[in-house]
Amino acid sequence: MRRIFVYISSLLLCLAVNTAIAQKKKPIPIPPDSTRWLNGFTVQADVASLMTSTLMSHVTYSAEGGIQLDLKHRIFPTLELGVAGADKISTDNIGYKTNSLFERIGVDFNLRKRKIDSKPTNNLFIAGVRLGMSHFNYDVTNVTIADNYWGSSVPLNYLNQSVTKIWYEFVVGVQVEVIKNFYMGWTIRNKNLISQDALGKVAPWYIPGFGQNNGSSWGFNYTLGYHFGPGPKKKNSRTVQTLPNQIINNQITK
C-alpha cells in the first residue's frame, strides 16, 4: 500500500512540475498580417507572342497584355486582352484567313507561403485558371470538291464565316520583381476547347487567343509588367494626439 501511495504521489508531482514549466513558456508571438486587402495592380505585356509571330513569318500572329489585381499578395484576379490572326496557304493550295480580338478572365493564386517572421515577398509562384473567348470571322478559299458524276472538281470559297469559341486554361508560372515595381515572369498554359464545331460547316483552322483548332493545345507567355501601388498608408491621427497625454498622466502618477 505504501509503495502505491509513493508511486501516485511521484506521478502527481511530475505532472505538477510539467504544468508549471509549460505555463512559464511564453508562446511565440505571430506578427499580424499588415498587407492591404487591395495592394494595387500590375499592367503586363506579353513578349513571347511577338517573338512567335516573327518566327512563324506572320502565318500566325498575336499580341496581348493584361491587368492583374493584387489582393493580400495571395489572390490575383486577371483580365487579358489581345488580337490574333492567321494568313495561311496549305500544301493543297487551300487558303485560310482570320483576324480578331480575344479576351480571357481568371484568377491566380500565390503558392509561396509566407514565413512567420518575414515580410510578404514580391516574388511569386502562381497557379490559376482562365476562361477565354473569341468571336471572329474567317475565310476558307479554294476548297476543291470532286464531282464523281462528271469526273471533274469545283473550287469553292467560304467567305465571312462567323463563329464564337470558348475555352478554359490551366496556368502555372513565376513572377519576379527585378527592380522596384518592375516585374518579369513566364507562364505555361494548357488550353482546352469547350465550344465544338457545328456539323456540316467548314471549321476554322485557327482560333484567335487559342491557337490551332485542336481539342487542346499548349501556350507559353513571357511578360514584362509594372506594378502600380496603392500609395502609403494613412497614419492613425487619434493615436498621435493621445500619446502625449498618456506620457503626462504617467509622470503625474509617479
| pLDDT at 254 exceeding the cut of 60 | no
Element (H, E) at 168: strand 152-179
Mean confidence (pLDDT) of the chain: 82
Eight-class DSSP state of 194:
-
75-104 mean pLDDT: 95
Q: Are 169 and 104 in contact (CB under 8 A)?
A: yes
Q: What are phi and psi of 5, to 5 degrees?
A: -60, -45
Q: What is the pLDDT of residues 21-48, one digit of tens each?
A: 555 555 555 555 566 789 999 999 999 9
Tens of pLDDT, residues 90-147: 888 999 999 999 999 999 999 988 665 556 678 999 999 999 999 999 999 998 887 7
If residue 241 lies in a helix (H) or strand (E), which one and from where to where?
helix 237-253
How confident is the model at residue 247, as a pLDDT? 47
User: Where does the pLDDT of residue 86 fall: very low under 50, low under 70, confident under 90, or very high at 90 and above?
Assistant: very high
**Phi, psi for residue 13 in degrees, rounded to 5:** -65, -40
Give 49's contacts (C-beta < 8 A, 6+ positions apart): 62, 63, 64, 82, 84, 221
- Pairing type for strands 182-193 and 124-147 reads unpaired
Class of domain 33-88+98-135+166-232: mainly beta
The sign of the torsion formed by the CA atoms of 215, 173, 78, 107 equals positive
Alpha-carbon gap, residue 174 to 166, rounded angstroms: 26
Domain ranges of the chain: 33-88+98-135+166-232
Maximum Cα–Cα distance across the chain: 118
For 88, the 3-state DSSP assignment is: strand
Contact 191, 66 (CB under 8 A): no
Query: How many secondary structure helices (H) and strands (E) does the chain include?
Result: 3, 10
Residues 6+ apart with CB under 8 A from 176: 123, 124, 183, 184, 185
- Beta partners for 126? 110, 173
Of residues 15 and 155, more confidence is placed in 155
Average pLDDT for 215-221? 93
Instruction: Give residue 232's pLDDT.
Output: 64
How far apart (Å, rounded) are the C-alpha atoms in residues 159 and 138? 7
Output the pLDDT for position 105.
98
CB 104 within 8 A of CB 75: no
